[in-house]
Structure 1
Amino acid sequence: MINCIIVDDEAHAIEVLTHYIKSVDQLNLIASFTKPTEAITFLGGQHIDLIFLDIHMPTLSGLEFIQTVRHKNYNFILTTAYREFASNGFDLDVIDYLVKPIPFPRFLQAITKVQKTINPMPQQGQNESMDADYFIVKTASKSKMVKIYVKDIDYIEGMKNYVAFHHNGIRTLALTTMKDIEEKLPEKNFMRIQKSFIIALNKIVAISGNQVILKDISSEILIGETYKKNFLDTLKKQMINPGT
């Protein structure tokens, strides 16, 4: 889990980022601040991994904020309506720079960079992720573990206390989280299309309106509004005639 805070003097900007952050399981919003000095005081007693930071603020600018706390080695994503400040931000080794209004797919790209920085992929010879042919999950049944082949997964459903793997006509409840699964699944083969569903891209048969139809699955899966554009942009790369 990546603990984060927002520092922005605009309430609307905080509302947008709060909505985006709550749409991503890997992110945990601890607090938000309209006054940068209050955020600096707050940081003194908290474990924070990531700071969403507006550059253009009264009293203390975002760049001055970074200079003040840089000895703590926080990760920063800068947010601002002023594109000309970007080079100054990258001089301070921030992870990314988002120009307002921030599209959700662009936000997700920045979070991917954060994940690679905070949780880098293992080197050759270290433990592999689910890029292997199969993996083992601990099920809801006491002391029972199940082997699931990645190629057999149709979709994964997040539930209250479990994750349900729908694979090869079987539904397996596992004691894990959507966060852990999404981090380990091969990105080229799987995509989250709403908060509670990850689908196998190679199992898509059709898309009808806001619904995805998967091979051998009787029920359709609704595409979440915040994930829709990123999902359709990915599919468009495979279209013979994507149009405009």
Structure 2
Amino acid sequence: MTIRCVIIDDEFPARSLLKDYITKFPHLELVGAFKSPLEALPALQSGSVDLAFLDIQMPEISGMDFLKSFHLKNILVVITSAYPEYALEGYELDVIDYLLKPFSFERFVQSVQKAGERLQARTTDNNLLVQNFQHEQEYIIVKANHKSYRVKVSDILFIESLREYVAYHCIDQKLVSLDSLKKLIETLPSEVFMRVHKSYIVNRLQVKALYGNQLQMHHTSKVVPIGQSYRDEVRKSLFNL
């Protein structure tokens, strides 16, 4: 498994050390090394990063403030800092490790192992979900309101992104769950579900009509917008236009 990494540290020696450590692992790929979190933001939001080594004390915005302000969906974070007093706060923000500068290569190896184990567990969960779809396409499990709902696939009209959450708009209910459209579109059966907008996935079988840049759905008066970059594919795939 390749782990795609970024380094975020305003100090050149720290970036150089981490680069050297990363190059010792054939399964680690350095996506970029940045002087500040804001400089790294495009890479972090691109979906091409698995692991970030993040310093705390930086001029523009501290590593902690950055983690609080920007939700790094599906990106593992290892804090690298010379200040031990931030360790507890870091773990409360769900970082996987806290490397206290100066740290040894052996200590760095432990962080890499933690990242690998976390990513492997995530991949296993996704594979199990895919296997469940292959064996039983009729239902999916949605966790919402502190419950696990067994939702019939054919009852889902569309799924809407709500920042860190998604809303399942069904024939007879609406469920809000902690998840992302990016993850769902990779696991939901593509023969049933289609992404039509950065914030919407629709059930192909529940699409009633197309007018302008909107889709009218069965069983609801709500309409689903079509993103410009998805328009041609929607017209072709759903309406043979």
**TM-score under structure 2 normalisation?**
0.49
**TM-score under structure 1 normalisation?**
0.48
Structure with the greater relative contact order (CA < 8 A, sep ≥ 6): 1 or 2? 1
Structure with higher helix content: 2
Q: Which of the two has higher C-alpha Rg?
A: 2
